[in-house]
Amino acid sequence: MKSIAVVGASLAGLRAAETLRAEGFDGVLHLVGDEVHRPYDRPPLSKQVLSGDWDVERVWLSADEKFDALNLTTHLGDAAVSFDAAALAVTLASGTVLDVDGVVITTGARTRTIGGPMPGVYTLRTLDDAQAIRAAFEKQPSRVVVIGAGFIGAEVAASARGLGLDVTMLEMAEAPFERSLGADMGAVLADVHRDHGVDLRLGVGCEAILGDEHVTGIRLTDGSEIETELVVVGIGVIPNVEWLDGSGLTIDNGVVCDTTSLAAPGVVAAGDVAQWHNGHFDETMRVEHWDNAITQAAHAAKRLLHGASVGPYEPVPWFWSDQYDRKIQLAGRTTDFDAFQIVDGDIESRKFAAIYGRNGVIVAVLGFNRPRHVMRYRGLIDMKTSWADALAAEF
């Protein structure tokens, strides 16, 4: 293989490029990105960047000299617009065509939003988004309305409260994080937000954004209205696959890969854009977590260079979310769990670890300020430990 294009210049793309070099690939290595910025880290955007604790300079993922040492041919601010998988040819917005021997797809995802563009209504995905919201916070809005209590919404709410701003947060489900944590644990998180002064409204969504020149409020699905000049929409993301129309790849909620991360001969995918069957959980998934972007990108890069011998990609997914003084971590999958047990601490103090089981096996662990337990139990999940043995384990 003489040339490889990594398409997507965020965390997964950078880690794929680093892995390709570390594994000895010394040919031409293209890095294509739609943003003009070199790769940066997204988790701080909804936390340290919004709160103003960090200068923007701290979000870069790789020191200049380390990035330069990768000897990449960068195409930043020049998005890929089409792809021919059979010919392994990537066409960029500028008209440049990259004819290569291998392609790593790491184009990630973009935010969903409500309605058309409207001043005062933001989503948060990029560095530019974060800086725009930070600037809006500094104007001391009378109220911040956050739509959606997932990762982004909950962290934006926490950051805004930390700055003393009034916050209303809406969530269509009956609890924040209901889908990933279950209703009971989601309710614990709801209480955390309420205790920090968030006006949390559950089971209700945004019907319409109000205003002409600038947002003036929103109308809720229950018919009521809230006045506000600042709305942050956090209702999830859509994988960036449109540039793959007509490419010959299979697209279904992302780029469909085999169990080894291969999407087509010479083509691998990783990160938020990749969908694959995780044999460990016997579940087809697309994982939007930071840690997965790293581990899947490394796996995909090795798959591209070394072939199927690298084996299937079967990780125990893990995420963390920092909200106020709570560190919430979940490892594994809670899908269709049929057993649940608090194994350390207690819910009242909001310092606890809980495990989830399915079909007699531990499948997930949740921690509120319990990182040590989360990682210990994650090891048990990795080994497909029986529910009984997981309950008996002491850490």
Residues near another protein (CB under 8 A) = 15, 18, 41, 43, 61, 290-291, 294-295, 318, 320, 322, 327, 329, 369-372, 374-375, 378-379
CA distance 77 to 307: 31
Minimum distance from residue 251 beta carbon to another protein (Å): 29
Please state the closest distance from residue 18 (CB atom) to another protein, in A: 8
Nearer to another protein, 269 or 297 (CB): 297
Cα–Cα distance measured from residue 251 to residue 242, given in angstroms and rounded to the nearest whole number? 9
Is the Cβ–Cβ distance between 40 and 60 less than 8 Å? Answer: yes
Q: Based on CB atoms, which residue is closest to another protein, 40 or 177?
A: 40
Cα dihedral sign, 276-148-364-13: positive
Q: How far is the CB of 289 from another protein (least distance, A)?
A: 10
Would you say 53 or 174 has its CB closer to another protein? 53
Q: Output 60 or 337, the one with its CB closest to another protein.
A: 60
Q: Which residues contact 230 (CB under 8 A, 6 or more apart)?
A: 120, 122, 136, 137, 141, 143, 144, 145, 215
Q: How far is the CB of 353 from another protein (least distance, A)?
A: 12
What's the min distance (Å) between Cβ of 272 and another protein? 16
Nearer to another protein, 202 or 347 (CB): 347
Nearer to another protein, 18 or 171 (CB): 18
Tokens coding 154: 């909950």
Which stretch of DSSP H or E encloses residue 278?
strand 274-278
Minimum distance of another protein from residue 43's CB (angstroms): 6
Token couple for 236: 């999830």
Residue with tokens 């990160």: 271
Copy the structure tokens of residue 216: 């003036």
Q: Which is nearer to another protein, 61 or 206 (CB)?
A: 61
The least CB distance from residue 242 to another protein, in Å, is: 30
Q: How far apart are alpha carbons 16 and 18 in whole angstroms?
A: 5
Closest residue by Cα to residue 373 from 347, 388, 351, 389: 351
- 255 neighbors 7 (Cβ within 8 angstroms): no
User: Which residue lies nearer to another protein by CB, 312 or 379?
Assistant: 379
Judged on CB neighbours under 10 Å (0-12, 13-18, 19+), 224 is exposed
Distance in Å from the first CA to the final CA of the chain: 47
CA distances for 43 relative to 11, 127, 212, 223, 280, angstroms: 11, 10, 33, 34, 27
d(CA 260, CA 66): 28
Closest approach of another protein to the CB of residue 376, in Å:
8
Q: Which is nearer to another protein, 176 or 315 (CB)?
A: 315
Nearest approach in angstroms of CB 323 to another protein is 13
Place of tokens 């010479």: 266
For the beta sheet containing 206-211, the strands, ordered from the edge strand earlier in sequence to the opposite edge, are 206-211, 215-220, 225-227
